[in-house]
Structure 1
Amino acid sequence: MSKKEDINKEPISENGMEKEQQNPETEAAVDQKDEVNEGPSELEKLEAEMAIEKDKFLRLFAEFENYKRRTAKERIELFKTAGQDIMSSLLPVLDDFDRAMSEISKTKEKELLKGVELIRQKMKTVLGSQGLSEIEAAAGDNFDAEIHDAITQIPAPSEDLKGKIVDVIEKGYTLSDKIIRHPKVVVGQQ
């Protein structure tokens, strides 16, 4: 063979067969077919996995923030009412002071009345500083079933007391805006 014939011949591949010359457009079409057959690329897979993990992280973070907020609120509520048992056990003592005051006021012992009144006021002040406050209820006030505990109903002594409080049997108290004992009242029948 001459050199001229070698130049005109198609290049021979490594396996001894002639290489076909391919058009650049057909090469691009073959590459696209390969991509379609392969599915999503590795980069797309990683991006999808990262999006899923990011979503999980954000949900977990939000759940943790809600947990922190909820436990902080519960802790504040616990501190507000931590002394509720002690306060509830001291309420009968306050009632006894009120009874003692009414009995001592019937006697002529004004110095004794003054001493008991000072002790009662001091105790109310100390308990008040801890969040205890008395629920105001008096004869003639409107009866509210949410606040008052009606222990009985009696015929109203007058027209204006029908459906209203006639007498307060036991005082009610709140501890940091939470009712720990409802006032026990007598209500006039309508």
Structure 2
Amino acid sequence: MEEKDKLEKEEEVNNTETVENPKEEAQMASGDVSGGDNTSESEEDDEDKLAKENEELKDKYVRLYSEFENYRRRTAKERLDLIKTASEDVLKELLPVLDDFERAFKAEGDGAEDNKASEGSRLIYNKMVKILASKGLEPMDGLVGKEFDAEYHEAITQIPAPSEELKGKIVDVVEKGYTLGDKVVRYAKVVIGN
């Protein structure tokens, strides 16, 4: 008898667990235990939270992406600037050699052009100037008569202007200035008329 009672109890439990309505069975399988077609408030709150979290994550992603793009552009620009000015120290050290060549040519004057040594020196000078120009070194030429600009010129003295037009302007260039790209490698040492 006991076994019969046990079997009957098991059948009762099994009958209560089975769902007779297939719609209820589908809702139970999908996890929808609300019992109706409308979603519960807690599910709507969860959806809102997920939507907000999704928006926050998208915003973080966009910000991170834009920061990375800015970083990439900045490092590329710095790399290009470094490549352009990498030889700046060597070029600065060669500038006095150019100055010496120019002083030697002034000292020789125009009559010494027939001399073979002078001709060789001019060839070397011209070759050196071309090489430095190919590396981006540009001399500041034609400064006499222009306005003084502290970003490119260094005033070493002032003298009375030979004419009214040269007052406050560059009268003479003592040492030629050079630029490497947009950067000043050596400021031009100039005399200003007052």
Q: TM-score range by the shorter chain?
A: 0.7 to 0.9
* Amino acid of the structure 1 residue aligned with 2:145: G
Structure 2: distance between partners of 1:138 and 1:42: 74
Aligned to 1:174: 179
Confirm or deny: 8 A CA contact 1:137 1:168 kept in the other structure.
no
Q: Is 1:74 aligned with 2:78?
A: yes
* Amino acid of the structure 2 residue aligned with 1:64: F
2:160 to 155, 158, 163: 155
Please, what TM-score do these two structures have when normalized by structure 2? Answer: 0.73
Change (3 A) 1:184 1:137: farther
CA RMSD of aligned residues (A): 2.6
Which segments of 5 or more consecutive residues in structure 2 lack a partner in the other structure?
1-15, 17-35
Change (3 A) 1:142 1:41: closer
Structure 2: distance between partners of 1:146 and 1:83: 22
SS at match of 1:41: helix
Q: What is the CA distance between 1:45 and its match in structure 2? A: 2.2
Q: What is the CA distance between 1:40 and its match in structure 2? A: 4.2
SS at match of 2:107: helix
Q: Is 1:97 aligned with 2:104?
A: no
* Amino acid of the structure 2 residue aligned with 1:93: V
Q: What is the CA distance between 1:140 and its match in structure 2? A: 2.8
Identity %: 52
Please, what TM-score do these two structures have when normalized by structure 1? Answer: 0.74
2:142 to 123, 137, 141: 137
Q: What is the CA distance between 1:180 and its match in structure 2? A: 1.0
* Amino acid of the structure 2 residue aligned with 1:161: L
Change (3 A) 1:48 1:124: same
With 134-143 and 59-68 compared, the bigger mean Cα shift is at: 134-143
Match runs of 1:17-28 below 5 Å:
none
Confirm or deny: 8 A CA contact 1:155 1:188 kept in the other structure.
yes
Q: What is the CA distance between 1:131 and its match in structure 2? A: 0.3
Q: Is 1:125 aligned with 2:130?
A: yes
* Amino acid of the structure 1 residue aligned with 2:98: L
Structure 2: distance between partners of 1:144 and 1:108: 37
Q: How many aligned residue pairs are there?
A: 160
Structure 2: distance between partners of 1:43 and 1:186: 77
Aligned to 1:41: 45
* Amino acid of the structure 2 residue aligned with 1:173: Y
Which segments of 5 or more consecutive residues in structure 1 lack a partner in the other structure?
1-13, 15-30
Higher helix share: 2
Q: What is the CA distance between 1:114 and its match in structure 2? A: 1.5
